[in-house]
Amino acid sequence: MLDTRSGQAFVEFDRVQKSYDGENLVVKDLNLSIPKGEFLTMLGPSGSGKTTCLMMLAGFETATYGEIRLDGQEINNIPPHKRGIGMVFQNYALFPHMTVAENLAFPLEVRKMGKSERDEKIKRALDMVQMGAFGGRRPAQLSGGQQQRIALARALVFEPELVLMDEPLGALDKQLRESLQFEITNLAHELGITVVYVTHDQTEALTMSDRVAVFDDGRIQQLAPPDELYEQPQNSFVAQFIGENNTLAGKVTQLSGDRCVVQLDGTGEEIDAMPVNVNNVGDQTLVSIRPERVEFNPELGPDAHTLDAEVLEFIYMGDVFRTRLRVAGRDDFIAKTRNRADQHRFQKGDKVKIGWLPQDCRALDH
């Protein structure tokens, strides 16, 4: 983490709280430092406070408590149009009486840019969103997805240092969304733009971002690069929100250093895990295991625990096999194996042993 007082941070939320009604905090205690050039995504379920944070940074909402700084300057009292921030919101309205090209020219005219430079930048921005041929149309003559691409081009055309995007690709089809995800991240990195991006699509967050802030209930649950978020979730919420995850409930029966034994609810079987946020023998825990880390008939160390499992469903998915198992009294345990020539294909009803390396199984909060 960056030291918020070192002056390195470009965007800073410092103990920010927000209440709309004077009673309930929808943003509870937000501390977040974003260095220049970073692509940071706020990811979280509906109502977790993502848009509210973006609106405060943009200047359309004021923080109830705390400070927001941009390049070291407090901006709580600077109006939106003076913050020099590019914005794309899910339903960002284009100026309806202007053509596409005029919409894009607007932020450049405001910045007193000459016509030839303006035309060049407009062309580049339109090409970037594959809308080069649409400069003469009005917004009403475009589909929703096309309007959104124009909104994106308009936010980027003046090459702002900071761009805020709130679910900008939500309305687009999968193929266009994926190509724009790629374009946006490339362009942002190329131009050195700092991006604060909001989505509730975890794949989008993982593929686009330098770091992801996982929001829930007005708080950041974890702030980390995508691989760390996926491989080292710090709590049960993050483990379940990011990627596919198996969760088993139980109680810690042994604990020493970076190993613990958890006795599972239901069957009372024991498994090996890595203690993440359990502190004492007797603690209740939810253990988290990724489907691709589950091993069948594993050859683990001599004192390693294995579990009895029954195959309920074997699903051929081309590149991988998904096996749904009954484990510790539950019917929703998933194991994923790569489709290799020597990989055994199970039948419904097969009885198997499963296990994992203790470091792949995280004992989290209950």
Ligand X SMILES: Nc1ncnc2c1ncn2[C@@H]1O[C@H](COP(=O)(O)OP(=O)(O)OP(=O)(O)O)[C@@H](O)[C@H]1O
> Do β-strands 194-199 and 162-166 pair in parallel, antiparallel, or remain unpaired?
parallel
Q: Which does 135 bind (CB under 5 to 8 A by kind): Mg ion, ligand X, none?
A: none
Residue 335 buriedness (CB in 10 A; 0-12 / 13-18 / 19+): buried
Cβ at position 149, least distance to ligand X in Å? 20
Measured in Å, how far apart are the chain's first and last C-alpha atoms? 27
CB burial string 215-250: b at 16+ within 10 A, e below: bbebbbbbbbebeebbeebbbbbbbbbbbebbebbb
Give the three-class secondary structure for 187: helix
Phi, psi (rounded to 5 degrees) for 83: -90, -10
- 68 interface partner picked from ligand X, Mg ion, none, CB below 5 to 8 A per type: none
Q: Which one of the spans 43-51, 288-296, 319-327, 356-364 is the region binding Mg ion (CB under 5 A)?
A: 43-51
51 binds Mg ion (CB under 5 A): yes
Helix axes 100-110, 144-157, angle to 10 degrees: 20
Please report whether residue 52 would count as binding ligand X according to CB under 6 A: yes
Would you count residue 221 as binding ligand X (CB under 6 A)? no
Place of tokens 């692509």: 39
Q: Does 41 bind Mg ion (CB under 5 A)?
A: no
Helix 144-157 with 174-191: angle, nearest 10 deg = 0
Binding pattern for the stretch 136-175 against ligand X, x by CB under 6 A and - elsewhere? ----------------------------------------
Nearer to Mg ion, 17 or 232 (CB): 17
Q: Is 47 in the site for ligand X (CB under 6 A)?
A: yes
CB of 101 to ligand X, least distance (A): 31
Residue 59 as a binder of ligand X (CB under 6 A): the answer is: no
Give yes or no for residue 48 binding ligand X (CB under 6 A): yes
CA distance 112 to 106: 10
Tell me if 46 contacts ligand X by CB under 6 A. Answer: yes
- Stretch in the footprint of Mg ion (CB under 5 A) among 50-58, 173-181, 242-250, 274-282: 50-58
Report the interface residues with ligand X, using CB under 6 A: 20, 26, 44, 46-52, 200
Report the interface residues with Mg ion, using CB under 5 A: 51
